[in-house]
Amino acid sequence: MDTSAFNFAALLAPFDEQCFRDEYYGRKVLHVPRASLSGRGFDKAGLMSPARLSELLAEPARWAESAIKLVINGRGVDPAHYTVSREFAKGAGTRPDPALVETLMAVGASLVIDGLEDQSHALRHMCRVLGEQFGAKATVNLYASRRGVQAFSSHCDPHEVFAVHCEGEKVWRIYENAEDAPVEATLVRDADHIARAKGQVAMEITMRPGDLLYIPRGRYHDALASSETSLHLTFGVQPLYGVAVLDLLREIALEDRTMREYLPPAREGEALRRQLGAIAARLGAMVDTPGMLEDIAVRQRTLASPVPAPQSAASSEVFVRTQLPCGVEQPLTGSVLTIGTQRLPAGLVSDAARWAFAQASFTWPQFAARFCHHPPAELEAFLATAIAQGAFESRPMA
């Protein structure tokens, strides 16, 4: 499937992208029925089909046992009922069996496949688009059901949901209430709690092929197939929580002497309060720095389900490390390249620079593929600077 038309605006089409950001994202449910594309979108239903699903299931070697699940009325089917032991090149392994899967689906089981982006270039590309839009990790799951069979009871998700309907029809019920910024799915919560918390049905939406449904994080919902068979994809988009800052602070706090000092014993109450106040001030100062912004930006890039960057003219070159001392420093003021006596801004590619300085030689395809979460132009700019400063020599590939 041609992915050249895949972008966020095309996924929402014909709905307006800016209106979505201003009025719906994180706030309201949005149903976008399939409409004439008119050059603005792409055939969302074409992202998956029953025929393509059958092809995928017919290749058991590609699936880990945990990737495929069967569910009946909210309860998982024991994998022993649909997996078999097979011999592979690396030895025996347990894999889902297509015939057993189809047999159980025929008697009412719903099929769930997690991490489908690993099996499809088009889906991987769409996950990258969503990841880049929201600074997030984006994954896609598949759900195939039969009429009147509900795989999961009412629940809410700890991430943004973009559901694309591909085959048949399914009725989604959206409830009036939502959890406040949940960090775990309510599927594991007490059913009585969910029944009390979700409130009344606020809307019922019938999804048909090519339709898109957006459900913000925390909003209670459930779904039920209304046609003989139903197939849809759910893209889960999970940006970083604010608590990610705590992880980053832990990494840099030991560089600060205030954070390395012993805490006074609790009996010295006033001294302990003073030191805690000093720590709070230092932590606040660390958060509000260019270095922290840089660290978060790089972490967001690495989340965004990258695909290898295209090769450029530099593909015919080998970059050979010279004897010039080089390194990367990461003060709170932002990453710095040290090349000989020069100190130069590293931008957001400090991880790539650190790796490059440690290699005897490498090629552009190696470099671009390893650090495909960075734009190729930024990687090329780093190499141009490093070569100009004498850190590498560029030689034709033998």
Which of 77-81, 119-123, 181-185 is the least confident region?
A: 181-185
Angle between helices 350-357 and 290-303 (to 10 degrees): 80
What is the residue-averaged pLDDT of the chain? 89
Whether the upstream peptide bond of residue 79 has omega within 30° of 0, thus cis, is: no
* Pair of tokens at residue 172: 């989604």
If DSSP codes are grouped into helix, strand and coil, which group holds residue 178? strand
Spell out the residues 6+ positions from residue 126 whose beta carbon is closer than 8 angstroms to its own: 3, 6, 11, 47, 117, 138, 140, 235
Select from 34, 39, 41 the least CA-distant residue to 7.
41
pLDDT-derived band of residue 363, with 50, 70 and 90 as boundaries?
Answer: very high
Q: Give the pLDDT mean for 172-188.
A: 85
d(CA 255, CA 262): 15
pLDDT-derived band of residue 88, with 50, 70 and 90 as boundaries?
Answer: low
321 vs 148, residue with greater confidence: 321
Q: Look at residue 38 and tell me whether its pLDDT is greater than 60.
A: no
Q: Where are the alpha helices (DSSP H) in 90-175?
A: 98-106, 121-134
Q: Look at residue 313 and tell me whether its pLDDT is greater than 50.
A: no
Say which CATH class 8-239 falls into. Answer: mainly beta
Conformational region of residue 297, where left means phi above 0, alpha means psi within -120 to 50, and beta covers everything else: alpha
Which of 70-74, 158-162, 225-229 is the least confident region?
A: 70-74
b/e 102-130 (16+ beta carbons within 10 angstroms → b): eebbeeebbbbbbbbbbbbebbbbbbbbb
Q: Look at residue 150 and tell me whether its pLDDT is greater than 50.
A: yes
How many angstroms separate the Cα of 189 from the Cα of each of 81, 220, 268, 397? 26, 13, 43, 58
Cβ 72 vs Cβ 60: under 8 Å: no
What is the residue type of 86? R
pLDDT of residue 64: 72
If DSSP codes are grouped into helix, strand and coil, which group holds residue 276? helix
pLDDT of residue 390: 97
Q: Where are the alpha helices (DSSP H) in the chain?
A: 8-12, 17-19, 50-57, 98-106, 121-134, 191-197, 244-253, 257-260, 269-287, 290-303, 350-357, 364-370, 376-388
What is the residue type of 121? H
Q: Look at residue 96 and tell me whether its pLDDT is greater than 90.
A: no
d(CA 291, CA 299): 12
